[in-house]
Amino acid sequence: MDYIYNILSETNKECDFCNKIHKSKYGEMNNISDTITYRNFLFCILDNFDLILSSSNDKKFNFLKRVSEICSQIEEDKDNYYDNFNYHKQFSIKKIQNSLQLCTNKRKLLSAIYFLNDFFSTHFIIVDIQRKEYIETTYKNYPKKYLECDNTFFKLSDSITEDYIKTNDSNLFETDIKMIYNSYLKAIGNYKVEELKSICNELKLSYYEGNKIMKKKNIYDMINLHKLNLI
């Protein structure tokens, strides 16, 4: 853990997270951080969701230390902080650790958000307040929090207005990985529609959309999504 922390400290000598907290011009929408905005999205999330960091006196110092501790936690307690999330082998422990470390500085990686969703059992939805767009970052049924971004500042909100449009791409974060979870089912080509319907019956899932049977791909996706949320 000391080794990881030393790397973080060297990387972030020029960073000042605590002194770069500002009053937000979007404060009327913020129900969590009370009009405070941050220059680093990872610090923003940890300061609001991690009790160890949020209750510390020297947050600038303890931010780096806390990220180091989380990186070690993933490796030392794999059962609770990695294996139980059913991650695909591409989303390795080293990948997660590296993403978190990079994001203590200026990087904005979707992989870090993906892990934080599971780590805090919260769906962090990325909101581009300039484009009035948002992207969802997990299929799991976690409580939603909105990470509002404008390229420079970040803050968390409980909701956004209805004029925001859902999109699949983020202009603010790097898509450094796409597949993070293992699929419950094999590739769709291994199944006939009747086989998928049989699995639905076992799981007590309806494969009807109105009065019509759903398309094969939709049934396949529904089964995988159902199992994902049961993990």
Please, are residues 182 and 86 in contact by the beta-carbon 8 Å criterion? Answer: yes
Would you place residue 19 in the very low, low, confident or very high pLDDT band (cuts 50, 70, 90)? very low
CA dihedral 149, 172, 126, 76 (to 10 degrees): -110
Q: What is the DSSP string of 44-56?
A: HHHHHH-HHHHT-
Give the pLDDT score at 29: 36
* Residue 63 reports pLDDT greater than 70: yes
Give the model confidence (pLDDT) of 135-190 as tens digits: 999 999 999 999 999 978 999 999 999 999 999 988 899 999 998 999 999 999 99
Question: Does the pLDDT at position 4 exceed 90?
Answer: no
Mean pLDDT of the chain, nearest integer: 88
Choose among 9, 16, 58: nearest CA to 40: 16
Window from 10-14, 154-158, 225-229 with minimum mean pLDDT: 10-14
Q: In this structure, are residues 41 and 108 in contact, taking their beta carbons and an 8 Å threshold? A: yes
Residue 195, Cβ neighbours under 10 Å: how many?
12
Domain boundaries, the chain: 2-166, 188-230
- If pLDDT is split at 50, 70 and 90, which confidence band does 17 have? low
Residue that has been written with the tokens 């220059």 in this structure: 39
